[in-house]
Amino acid sequence: MAITAEYRAHVEERLGVVAPITTKSMFGGLGIYSNGLFFALADDGHLYFKVDDTNRGDFEAAGTGPFFPWDGAKPMGYYELPDGLLDHPTDLAVWIDKALGVAERAALEKKRR
């Protein structure tokens, strides 16, 4: 994972317009949280949101794919945000809400185990 300071600032600013976020550097990339829920990550100039069966189709319909942490790795449960969406706060809010729902369900499931 790698992310530039400029891209990090851009992502934080654009997401912060829509939702309260905190970020954490992770392996050269960026973990993105809202209200304690890990719902997104940024790496190599790309932004990925958490997915499950409830929102994966939105990403696939937009033509984006999953995040692979390294070559040959299995994909993680995050898909790339469609181009241009960061610049449309109203539309972005819908995608963030869905990703937060996925993160919340995952956290609840983890607690049940």
Tell me the pLDDT tens digit for each residue of 6-48. 999 999 999 999 999 999 999 889 999 999 999 999 999 999 9
pLDDT at 100 over 60: yes
Q: Give percent of the chain with pLDDT exceeding 70.
A: 99
CATH number for the segment(s) 5-112: 3.30.1460.30
Question: H or E element: which one contains 104?
Answer: helix 89-112
Do the Cβ atoms of 3 and 43 come closer than 8 Å? Answer: yes
Return the sign of the alpha-carbon dihedral for residues 67, 68, 74, 76.
negative
Nearest to 49 by CA among 21, 74, 70: 21
pLDDT score at 1:
57
Question: H or E element: which one contains 18?
Answer: helix 5-18
Q: Domain ranges for the chain, please list them.
A: 5-112
